[in-house]
């Protein structure tokens, strides 16, 4: 499984909204500048996040976007599944994947199931709050 730029940028966008949360909306222009991501691409991603209820938009001159929940309520898995779909390495182990006629005698399916379980275990136990904490640790390591 390879995470696309959409998934990676969605994580960075959500992290930025969490890190720079002051109680006021954050403009995509500011996120784009900080994250060095095209504002046009962020517009596509924020649309998905908005429709899913992960963020809310505030219109007007001081408008922008805000998280709808606390950072601890978002998992990396939820964000990636929204942008990437199922995270399974092969279709035969996807949640709603195709039924493989070879599954009964297939030895490799055990490998794919274990990889799938491992990936899901990791991404479902890391929250946006964890990522904010890691970001702050990185910032504390800055030395002049």
pLDDT, tens digit, 9 for 90 and up, residues 73-93: 999 999 999 999 999 998 888
Give this prediction's pTM: 0.89
pLDDT value at residue 17 = 98
* CATH match of 5-140 with 2.40.40.20: no
Closest Cα to residue 43, out of 53, 33, 29? Answer: 29
Domain residue spans of the chain: 5-140
Distance of CA 36 to the CA centre of its chain: 17
Confidence of residue 37 (pLDDT cuts 50, 70, 90): very high
- The DSSP 8-state label assigned to residue 44 in this structure reads H
Q: DSSP per residue over 72-102, as a string? A: GG-BHHHHHHHHH----SSGGGSTTPPPPTT
> Under the phi-then-psi rule, with left for phi > 0, alpha for psi from -120 to 50, and beta for the rest, what region is 23?
left
């Amino acid at each position: 499984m390879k995470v696309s730029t959409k998934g990676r940028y969605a994580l960075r966008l959500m992290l930025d909204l969490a890190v720079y949360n002051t109680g006021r909306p954050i403009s995509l222009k500011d996120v784009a500048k900080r994250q060095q991501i095209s504002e046009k691409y962020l517009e596509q991603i924020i649309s998905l996040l908005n429709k899913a209820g992960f963020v809310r938009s505030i219109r007007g001159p001081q408008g922008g976007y805000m998280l709808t929940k606390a950072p601890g309520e978002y998992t990396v898995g939820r964000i990636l599944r929204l942008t990437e779909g199922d995270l399974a390495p092969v279709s035969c182990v996807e949640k709603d994947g195709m039924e493989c006629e070879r599954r009964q005698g297939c030895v490799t399916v055990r490998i794919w199931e274990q990889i799938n379980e491992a990936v899901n275990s990791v991404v479902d136990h890391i929250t946006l709050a964890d990522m904010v904490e890691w970001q702050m640790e990185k910032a504390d390591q800055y030395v002049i």
